[in-house]
Amino acid sequence: MSSDKTLSWAFAEEQMVENDLVAQARSTAEDLGISAVSPATGSLLRILSSVSGARTAVEVGTGTGVSGLYLLQGSDSLTLTTIDVEAEAQRAAREVFARAGIRASRTRLIKGRSADILPRLADHSYDLVLIDGDPEEAPGDAEEALRILRPGGLLIVARALLDGKVADPARREPETVAIRGLVKDVLEQSPLCALVPIGSGLLLAQATQTP
Ligand SMILES: C[S@@+](CC[C@H](N)C(=O)[O-])C[C@H]1O[C@@H](n2cnc3c(N)ncnc32)[C@H](O)[C@@H]1O
């Protein structure tokens, strides 16, 4: 990447001043070794949550609640179902949602693997799905996401560029191969989609039809 693009990328991140609660959730994530969405990515999630008019969202990968807070702060009408395998991270997320004044009825935190939980969610019932769990499981998560999204709903895949690994054909780790394949499939199959090089990359697609 040319240095001007790298500078612009860093500049976009630096402009986003996070409130104390998000900063606290980010600090807890760092303590637990969890990689939260970047400030610029979070800001984009917040505005997407707002302008999409989404009322029901599902997130794979609660972490300590950074991305969830951004989504919930984008719209007071949004309720969030969020899934993670790590109980300690979810405890931290629950605390930060409460400290942010988010009513408990607006969040449903489910501990478990996405591959076990997503199949239990009803068809065509959600307006927005954010996938930010295990990259190797992202293709399966995305398939489930397209089933549970209503037509016109928004699929978002975080870390869609895996910090440059997806763009480098020499990188063949299982997680890179999985995300690269998912990005290719979504871009080929979705009439309305975008791959945004922000943070670790954000893939956006509007659900048109269900399997
Ligand atoms: C990148 S972090 C999520 C960060 C979070 N979205 C944020 O920005 O604050 C990935 C999370 O996915 C969780 N995870 C990993 N594999 C999972 C799986 N199979 N199902 C559900 N969650 C999973 C991890 O425990 C971790 O908390």
pLDDT digit string, tens, across residues 122-147? 999 999 999 999 999 999 999 999 99
Tell me, using a 6 A CB cutoff, whether residue 60 lines ligand 1: yes
Q: Is the dihedral of CA 100, 203, 129, 64 positive or negative?
A: negative
Antiparallel, parallel or unpaired: β 149-158 and 202-206: antiparallel
Ligand 1 center to residue 90 CA distance, Å? Answer: 10
pLDDT, one tens digit per residue, over 86-114 is: 999 999 999 999 999 999 999 999 999 99
Give the DSSP H/E element, type plus range, for residue 128. strand 126-131
Ligand 1 center to residue 168 CA distance, Å? Answer: 24
Q: How many CB atoms neighbour CB 164 within 10 A?
A: 13
Binned at pLDDT 50, 70 and 90, residue 211 comes out as: very low
Q: Is this prediction's ipTM beyond 0.90? A: yes
Tell me, using a 6 A CB cutoff, whether residue 80 lines ligand 1: no
Ligand 1 center to residue 4 CA distance, Å? Answer: 32
Choosing from 16, 28, 34, 136 the residue with most ligand 1 atoms within 8 A of its CB, the one to mutate for a pocket test is 34
C-alpha distances out from residue 157 to 14, 70, 81, Å: 22, 15, 16
Q: Which residues contact 121 (CB under 8 A, 6 or more apart)?
A: 58, 81, 144, 148
Ligand 1 center to residue 136 CA distance, Å? Answer: 12
Model pTM score = 0.97
Binned at pLDDT 50, 70 and 90, residue 2 comes out as: low
Q: Which domains are assigned to the chain?
A: 3-206 (3.40.50.150)
